[in-house]
């Protein structure tokens, strides 16, 4: 049984909403919704990793099929790229939460104190600048491309005008 379709759509919804909220943050200069964005990107990234693992199981359906195999390889690559873009953002939010809730965890072990401090500073710079919205926008674009390639696998490259455009551009 192919579980990939069951696991892929929920993270897409979460990460799409996260990307929208992250980009809107730039125009509103509003720091609210931090917790909502954090929950969306963290749960979406976890779901994306689950989608990657179920996608690997679904790959067996396309062995030996020429054109579909090429589409599958690009789809798989874009899925990995998309997942890691959002995973970086999710890690930044986790580090942000750890920084703001240090009373819950205490201070890190002596040997880990310096690397954790460096990671927290990097996360603060990413989340506090235009870099987070830019990564979110890039993640959204790669998410859409991954979805279009997935639609090509299921419905063919002539499914709609987006899949036709992506097919012409990439293949």
> How much is the pLDDT for 103?
53
Q: How far apart are the first and last CA of the chain?
A: 30
Number of domains in the chain: 1
CA-angle at 97, arms to 92 and 99, nearest 5°: 95
In Å, what is the CA distance from 59 to each residue of 39, 47, 109? 30, 18, 42
Q: Which of 43, 3, 56, 16 is nearest to 137 (CA)?
A: 16
Q: Is 27 helix (H, G, I), strand (E, B) or coil?
A: helix
- pLDDT tens profile 35-60: 899 999 999 999 999 999 888 777 77
pLDDT of residue 114: 78
Which of these, 24, 30, 151, 18, lies nearest to 88 by C-alpha position?
Answer: 18
- pLDDT of residue 101 exceeding 90: no
Domain hosting residue 50, numbered range: 4-170
Pick 43 or 69 by higher pLDDT: 43
108 confidence band (pLDDT: 50, 70, 90)? low
Whether residue 34 has pLDDT greater than 80: yes
Question: What pLDDT score was predicted for residue 84?
Answer: 98
SS3 category, 13: helix
Q: Kindly report, residue by residue over 134-161, the tens digit of the pLDDT.
A: 999 999 999 999 999 999 988 999 999 9
């Amino acid at each position: 049984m192919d579980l990939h379709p069951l696991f892929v759509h929920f993270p897409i919804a979460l990460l799409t909403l996260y990307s929208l909220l992250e980009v809107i943050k730039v125009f509103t200069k509003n720091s609210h919704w931090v917790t909502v964005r954090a929950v969306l990107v963290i749960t979406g990234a976890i779901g994306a990793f689950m989608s990657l693992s179920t996608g690997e199981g679904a790959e067996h359906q396309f062995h030996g099929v020429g054109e579909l195999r090429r589409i599958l390889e690009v789809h798989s690559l874009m899925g990995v790229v998309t997942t890691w873009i959002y995973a970086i953002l999710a890690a930044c939010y986790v580090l942000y939460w750890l920084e703001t809730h240090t009373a819950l965890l205490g201070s890190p072990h002596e040997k880990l104190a310096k690397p954790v401090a460096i990671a927290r500073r990097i996360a603060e710079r990413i989340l506090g600048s235009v870099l987070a919205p830019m990564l979110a926008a890039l993640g959204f674009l790669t998410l859409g491309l991954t979805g279009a390639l997935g639609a090509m696998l299921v419905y063919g490259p002539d499914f709609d005008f987006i899949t036709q455009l992506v097919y012409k551009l990439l293949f």
